[in-house]
């Protein structure tokens, strides 16, 4: 997948976070409309005046927690196949090259959804929509495409491990899905993808990439009526799926799992995952995940052999998880013990006023924070300087990244309502939820150790 723009954004995010956290509050970009097409696709349109570009983000409700048994990285592999495989209207890789020549395109696979984003001149909106419609309706991946894209997807896993980056947690979650959902004892995330059978990839793609799993975000310099017409003439013309939408198959049989599972994988970085079964109440799920995210930034991990920690936003059945890639040749058991001790201190039923204030702030602070015109200009200036962009181009990229952030953290509509509920929690409610759901008796650990076959 194209990552050059994404890597620059990721490198800029810490600086932008500082800018955002110090900025005054303001209303979000207004003027959005939201509706659903007859074929089930959901559409969100947000016009922005004077930026000269459009951003289109096509998100589908499938991620690597949906990988079938024995096929870790399959969702991640199907993602670039959709970008580069032929359609009746375009030869392999040609459309991606055409889009890249006039703008920026990217795609990312998350645990619970996958998105494809286009940042293009305003007059290219129809091209982006037509491209997504063609990929839904007439894609024809071949074994040649798999042979090209498989090694690239595997290379990303190898690169994160060899460079000791915290982004290894992404692949740890793929391993966790295989271990906890499919009883895997060894997971290959960096080898063998080029040997994936075309029928396996196509069965997966056709099951999950349907109009009723599509959420389409459009923003930038556009007329709403013209945008709706362009949607109607592209994605809107596609029929609804004949089969009923398959339910997500992400549930984990926690009662059947041991408290600690140890597996191996083909990366050189040991990784520890600590998880708790997701409560039924979306508000408690939201609070637990925000608490884990808050803990992952605490100074208690400074000086430990942990390369970085990460926690996920709650979506549906996905469990709250605390993930730590560990420096090679360091004590994995010690890291696991430290992670559990950290959670025990959080769930011992005694919250100080400072801890309560900190957790409440973490759970109620909007992410991404609202954009003000001043924030947009400041971020755009930084981005323009880093990437040698024209002001309008930089400004549109800021809007696009904000839209991506907002999409990632609110993909499940229940999360927004959960945030509102948690905002009113008392200290006792916080302490009770943490004690009930993050106590040692409720925690499950996955240790992923290196073993190259």
Mean pLDDT of 71-93: 94
Q: Which helix (H) or strand (E) holds 208?
A: helix 198-208
pLDDT(40) > 80? yes
CA atoms within 13 A on the CB side of 60: 27
Q: Report all structural domains of the chain as residue ranges with CATH numbers, in order of start.
A: 4-9+26-248 (3.30.830.10)
The predicted-structure confidence for 415-430, as pLDDT tens digits, reads as follows 778 888 998 999 999 9
Q: Give the N- to C-terminal CA distance of the chain in Å, as an integer.
A: 26
Q: What is the DSSP letter of 65?
A: G
pLDDT on residue 52 = 84
In the predicted model, what is the mean pLDDT of residues 213-232?
Answer: 94
Q: Is the pLDDT of residue 293 over 80?
A: no
- Specify the pTM: 0.85
The fraction of the chain above a pLDDT of 90, given in percent, is: 48
Question: What is the rounded CA–CA span in Å between residue 117 and residue 120?
Answer: 10
**Alpha-carbon gap, residue 103 to 393, rounded angstroms:** 10
Contacts 24+ apart (CB under 8 A), 17-25: 19/375, 19/378, 19/379, 19/382, 20/368, 20/369, 20/375, 21/369, 23/369, 23/372, 23/374, 23/375, 24/372, 24/374, 25/369, 25/370
What is the number of other CB atoms lying within 10 angstroms of the CB of residue 195? 10
Look at 27-41, 104-118, 255-269, 400-414 and tell me which has the smallest mean pLDDT: 400-414
Q: What is the CA radius of gyration of the chain?
A: 22
How many Cβ atoms from other residues are within 10 Å of residue 266's Cβ?
20
Pairing of β 271-275 and β 321-325: antiparallel
């Amino acid at each position: 997948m194209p990552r050059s723009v994404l890597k620059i954004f990721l490198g800029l995010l810490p600086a932008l976070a500082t800018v955002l956290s110090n900025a005054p509050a303001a209303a979000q970009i207004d003027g959005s409309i939201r509706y659903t097409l007859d074929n089930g696709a959901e559409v969100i349109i947000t016009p922005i005046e004077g930026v000269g570009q459009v951003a289109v983000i096509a998100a589908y409700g499938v991620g690597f927690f949906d990988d079938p048994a024995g096929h870790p990285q399959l969702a991640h592999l199907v993602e670039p196949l959709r970008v580069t495989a032929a359609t009746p209207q375009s030869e392999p890789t040609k459309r991606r090259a055409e889009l890249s020549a006039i703008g920026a395109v990217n795609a990312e696979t998350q645990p619970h959804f996958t998105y494809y984003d286009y940042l293009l001149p305003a007059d290219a909106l129809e091209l982006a929509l037509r491209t997504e419609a063609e990929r839904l309706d007439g894609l024809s991946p071949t074994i040649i495409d798999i042979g090209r894209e498989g090694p690239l997807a595997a290379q990303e896993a190898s690169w994160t491990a060899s460079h000791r980056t915290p982004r290894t947690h992404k692949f740890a979650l793929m391993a966790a899905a295989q271990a906890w959902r499919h009883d895997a004892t060894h997971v290959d995330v960096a080898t063998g993808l080029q040997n994936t059978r075309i029928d396996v990839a196509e069965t997966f793609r056709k099951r999950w990439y349907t109009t009723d799993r599509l959420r389409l975000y459009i923003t930038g310099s556009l007329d709403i009526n013209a945008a709706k017409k362009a949607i109607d003439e592209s994605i809107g013309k596609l029929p609804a799926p004949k089969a009923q939408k398959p339910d997500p198959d992400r549930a984990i049989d926690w009662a059947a799992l041991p408290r600690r599972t140890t597996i191996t994988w083909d990366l050189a970085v040991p990784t520890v995952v600590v998880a708790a079964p997701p409560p039924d109440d979306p508000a408690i799920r939201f609070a637990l995940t925000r608490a884990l995210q808050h803990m992952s930034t605490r100074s208690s991990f400074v000086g430990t052999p942990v390369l970085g920690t990460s926690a996920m936003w709650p979506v549906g059945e996905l469990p709250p998880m605390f993930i730590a890639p560990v420096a090679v040749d360091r004590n994995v058991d010690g890291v696991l013990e430290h992670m559990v001790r950290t959670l025990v201190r959080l769930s011992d039923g005694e919250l100080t006023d400072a801890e309560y204030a900190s957790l409440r702030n973490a759970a109620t602070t909007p992410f991404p924070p609202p954009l003000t015109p001043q924030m947009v200009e400041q971020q755009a200036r930084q981005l323009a300087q880093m990437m040698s962009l024209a002001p309008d181009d930089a400004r549109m990229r800021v809007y696009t990244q904000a839209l991506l952030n907002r999409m990632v953290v609110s993909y499940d509509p229940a999360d927004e309502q959960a945030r509102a509920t948690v905002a009113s929690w008392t200290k006792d409610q916080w302490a009770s939820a943490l004690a009930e759901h993050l106590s040692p008796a409720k925690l499950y650990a996955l240790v992923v150790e290196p073993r190259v076959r």
